[in-house]
Amino acid sequence: MSSRPSRSTQWFVGLLVLPAFLMLGSTRASAKAAKPAAAKKHKPAAASDKPEPVRREPAPYETPAPAQSESPLPGSPETATSTATATSTETSTDTTSSTSTATATDTSTEPPKESKPEEPRPLAESPAPPPAPAEPIPATVATGSEKPVVETPAPYVEHLGPKSFPGRLRGIYGGSLWLEPSFNGLQWPFMVRTGVGVSGSFWTDTGYETIIRNDRNNEMTNSKMFFQQGRGILRLTPAYVQGRFFIQGQAELVANQCQSTTEVCTTSGTFSTDDLWIRVGEWNSWDLKVGRFEAWEIYHTGMGLDLYTLERLGARQFDVPNSPGLDAPAFYGVNYLHDRPSEGLGLGYGALHVYATEALRFEVLAELGTDSVQLTKDSNGQAKSGFSYMGGRPAVVYDVGWVKLKAAAEYQQRTAAMQIAPNGQKKDASYYRTRMGGGAALQFVLDPSIEFGFNAAYGKQHETNRTDLASGDTDKKNSFTTLTLGGFANLRLANLWMAGVGLNWTTQSNEYRDSTPENPADYSAHLQGFGALQYLVAGQLFVKAVVGFARADFQPNDGDVAVWSNYMYSGRIRLMYLY
């Protein structure tokens, strides 16, 4: 009979053996878990293994680059900020990408290690803790003594100074083409956000002019004078901008140095208006402008013959006593419908601009209105107001920067606004005046040294008798043809110094002939030239000295009046500040 251990003995032995079994099971489980990790750790890297591609995360706040035609203006804050942000983002991303790629490549090209006899597998090491999360972006709310980060809103009122002028190679910096007010047909003021643009210009001229009239009988007197002229413009341009679509208005308030307290300044007045228009369209695509403004310039005179100057008028008669009624012709630059309408009561322009390509631009301008609803006459009985106007002027500009080709044609008709009632019968007056013409210009810009160009224009006017509105007879003295040829050149002498020259030749002949048919019609010619020297101060103040010369030759139809010539000499210093 075998002896069996007692129940208490069995419980005691079981308690002793159980920890051993538990320890053995834990060791086997740990060995199984450590086997794949150890195998992976000691596996040599194959030479053909490729590093995993580095995933490039998109840069924060990165926006697509705009198309060339939509780029912000050069030098604007938007351009500088976008460039700096893009450069910083790309540099940071490229550096991170290069570092990651280099690390992966070094690991993959490490030579394989020699295999060793398998050693006893150690117990599995505890897994490494997960990487610490990235630091959160600090809150914009101030904590403790920190100041809050406040985003500065874009200004609602924007200064549109010379740095905002548009155009790629519009002209050499500070030259006359660079200052040309229609900017070769480009849209300006160019505003990228809703707001109000503020800009302006101020100039004063101080100088001297003399005109010598060499008539054979020595009856027409000479003239000489000192003068000072001045003009200031404050320009306000409110705009609504939504993407490329915009609505703009513009008003130019003009202060004239010439005071209306004197008789000579009564017409111009002390205060007046230049631009007053509304424009709607899309940037670099099209726009429609309606109001008072200048059309695109075709004929460019250079650094002299500026608007409102005496040198631009040249060697004229200026109603000198004993004058036979023939005067020096003003140069014609396709400007019947170029200048702002100034005839009176209700006359204005409307123009459609189309930007077909970056280089090709079109303007189709129309004129419509009346100067007065009441017919008035001067002391000679000629009607001087009470006319309606209608006209058109298409223009094209092809501009590739270094070379520019411009051309335009125009037609204008003026008729009497009031009917006449001869013998108690109402009818339209027979009076009318037509003007037509065309011209072209070829300009070159060799930046930054020289710019030059050539102009040619031909115009014709036909007018009936303003003394007798019912007759419809031709006014032969006011019916004429005009031809103008000219050119200019501007040369940069040094960084801030520039010189310019220009020459223009104008001829004009009318239809008047006296009782002697073999005598030619009235003829006059006008040669106008200038030389200029300019210095630029602080990029905004232009100091320019201009000397002018003009010669006018007169050949009247009247055989009893001898041919004569006028000579004009002038000099002035202009200070012009662009704001």
Give the residue extent of every domain in the chain.
157-578
The pTM of this model reads: 0.73
Structure confidence by residue, pLDDT tens digits, 445-481? 999 999 999 999 999 999 999 988 888 899 999 999 9
Instruction: Report the pLDDT averaged over residues 65-92.
Output: 41
The DSSP-derived string for 337-380 is TTSPP-SSTEEEEEEEEEE-SSSEEEEEEEEEEES-SS-EE-TT
Q: Of 107-121, 140-154, 360-374, 375-389, which range is least confident? A: 107-121
| Residue 503: closest CA among 489, 492, 515 | 489
| Residue 49: closest CA among 113, 115, 112, 116 | 112
CA 566 to chain centre: 40
Asked if residue 275 has pLDDT above 50, the reply is: yes
The phi and psi torsions of 226 (rounded to 5 degrees) equal -95, 155
What percent of the chain shows pLDDT beyond 90?
54
- Residue 145's pLDDT is 54
Instruction: Report the pLDDT averaged over residues 200-213.
Output: 96
Give the number of residues written for the chain: 579
Residue 33 tokens read as 């878990």
Q: CB–CB of 205/229 below 8 Å? A: yes
- Looking at residue 213, what DSSP letter applies? E
| Residue 259: closest CA among 229, 227, 235 | 229
Q: How far is CA 196 from CA 73, 156, 236, 247, 275, in A?
A: 17, 6, 7, 12, 16
- Residue 184's pLDDT is 93
- String of b and e for 425-448 (b: at least 16 CB within 10 Å)? eeeebbbbbbbbbbbbbebebebe
Asked if residue 60 has pLDDT above 90, the reply is: no
Which burial class, exposed, middle or buried, applies to 549 when counting CB atoms under 10 A from its CB (0-12, 13-18, 19+)?
Answer: middle
Task: Return the higher-pLDDT residue of 264 and 443.
Answer: 443
Structure confidence by residue, pLDDT tens digits, 146-177? 555 556 667 789 999 888 888 778 999 999 99
β-pairing, 497-510 vs 480-492, is antiparallel
Structure confidence by residue, pLDDT tens digits, 289-311? 999 999 999 999 999 999 989 99
Asked if residue 350 has pLDDT above 80, the reply is: yes
**Helix%, strand%, coil% for the chain, nearest 5:** 15, 40, 45
Highest mean pLDDT among 316-320, 322-326, 395-399: 395-399
In angstroms, the CA 455 to CA 487 distance is: 6
Tell me the CATH architecture of domain 157-578.
Beta Barrel (2.40)
Q: Of 77-81, 154-158, 566-570, which range is least confident? A: 77-81
Q: CB–CB of 397/184 below 8 Å? A: yes
Neighbours of 7 (CB within 10 A): 8
Q: CB–CB of 495/513 below 8 Å? A: no
- Residue 396's pLDDT is 98
Task: Return the higher-pLDDT residue of 342 and 85.
Answer: 342
Task: Return the higher-pLDDT residue of 304 and 82.
Answer: 304
